[in-house]
Amino acid sequence: MTENITGPNMSLLEILVLLSAVALVMARWLPPVARPPVTITAAGGFALSAIVLSQVGTRWQMLPVLAGAVFALPFAVSPLLRRRTGRPASRARWWAALPGSVACVALIATGPAAAWAFPVPVFPEPSGGFAVGTHVMQWTDPGRPETATADPHDRRTVVVQVWYPARKSPAGTRRAQYLGRTEDEARTVSDALARHVGLPHFLVDGVPRARTRSVPDAPVALEGGRFPVVLFSPGLGGVRTQNTAWAEELAGHGYVVAALDHPYDSAAVVLADGRTIDTRMTSTGDDDEDTRRSVETTRIRAADLGFVLTQLGRLDRGEIDGPLTGRLDTGRAAVTGHSLGGGAALQAARQDRRFDAVIDMDGYPRDPHPRPFHQPVLALTQAITPATDPRYLPRLTEVLELSTATGYRLTIPGAAHLTFTDSPLYLPPVPSIVGSLGRTKSPRVVAATTLAFLDATLGRRPGDPAAALRAHGDLVVHRPDKSR
């Protein structure tokens, strides 16, 4: 995964507005001969760039920059106007002007600070040998009723997005929108995610502006044969695109990643007909009831994952239209998930022997009746602290020890719960929220550990992944009990 997440998190137009605003404030402190040209240039540049910015869309981070410049503008321009009318120019004494200048600079500086804290995410370039394509599908399971509605004829529908190895596209090809097929869908999903976690939606208004590294419906790579399949279930309220950087990295290395939206559970699911299904998952305040609901939701998700694997098999055989016919190796399939999705992945693997490996990204096992399962497991966890649920590690250990294959628990120092998602790319780098690995290292570590495990378990590079995993954290290996 190429480490190219750099820059000021501002567009060139925004940088021009910022520099013009600073110049307007600082013009008062320049030598007399330099004040007029600097003021005129700064005022003209600010006015022009602000007009253009208003047409293309102004991010909230730029509002304090605009406010600081507007406040400074009359004080910078009025001496020039006085000269043109023949009146003597007057300036406040330096000690009277200093507080206002400092206040304007502080206000203007808020803009880049906010842009740094809440940037438009920049996705890392996949490091594998393949370019990446993406495609969205919607499938309905005729055999399962939708339990979230009262309509007896309603059937369970899921939206699935795949990332896959693709042919290289021409330079300048438009990349896929993040969070949705269109910018409108992306904004709908972004607003729903913000509501779900209790954030004002304007704080993350840069997220739906982002473009990923994949190309919609790009032709499948000519080389590579049939590709192993990796299914992904997001966290509670999460959406199919929440791990796009991870999915693109895996696809660049020759895997097909299929991520699910779970209607009535994901924050918002936009269907093909334009309808939006919002989440119905809310805390009741009753721990026992919330646990019961989580168990039921995990059961439904596990069934969704098995259904999607079946559909991918039909897609490979040409029974369903799609770009990957004849290129999916569903005989080499892993099931993965984050948080609640990790618990669903564990349950799906236990119930469905078609899955050859399972990855749980910081998820609590929710299967009410843990029983042995045959797949190797990788459990990625955040740093364990006194605040960690004391039931988590014993429960996870119990599940890993039930496996008849080797299980690995990797605790990544500096990781938090959201480290395992795209969140470090666009949320403030607060360790308790996104960990302390940073915007560049977080997606790289998560991808590297999962690739090492998948390569070993799905036959790309057979062997024990322990050495590769140990390089990224504290590893505990659970060897199978041969008596089972």
Q: Give the model's pLDDT for residue 145.
A: 96
Classify residue 236 by its DSSP letter: T
Q: Give the model's pLDDT for residue 67.
A: 93
3-class SS shares of the chain: helix, strand, coil, % to 5: 45, 15, 40
What tokens were used for 305? 């994952």
Q: Give the model's pLDDT for residue 151.
A: 93
Classify residue 465 by its DSSP letter: T
Q: Give the model's pLDDT for residue 86.
A: 54
Q: Give the model's pLDDT for residue 32.
A: 78
Contact 131, 218 (CB under 8 A): yes
Residue given tokens 């003021």 in the structure block: 39
Q: d(Cα 245, Cα 146) in Å, to the nearest integer? A: 31
Q: Give the model's pLDDT for residue 31.
A: 84
Q: Is 163 helix (H, G, I), strand (E, B) or coil?
A: strand
Element containing residue 389 per DSSP (H, E): none
Beta strands 268-270 and 377-381, pairing class: unpaired
What tokens were used for 392? 């988590």
Q: Give the model's pLDDT for residue 157.
A: 97
Q: What are the beta bridge partners of residue 136?
A: 161
Residues of the chain with pLDDT under 70: 1-8, 81-97, 481-484
Residue given tokens 């059961």 in the structure block: 299
What tokens were used for 280? 């119905």
Q: d(Cα 114, Cα 119) in Å, to the nearest integer? A: 8
* pLDDT digits 0-9 by tens, 172-184: 999 999 999 999 9
Domain map of the chain by residue range? Answer: 12-117, 131-478
Beta strands 377-381 and 155-166, pairing class: unpaired
Give the CATH H-level superfamily of domain 131-478: Alpha/Beta hydrolase fold, catalytic domain (3.40.50.1820)
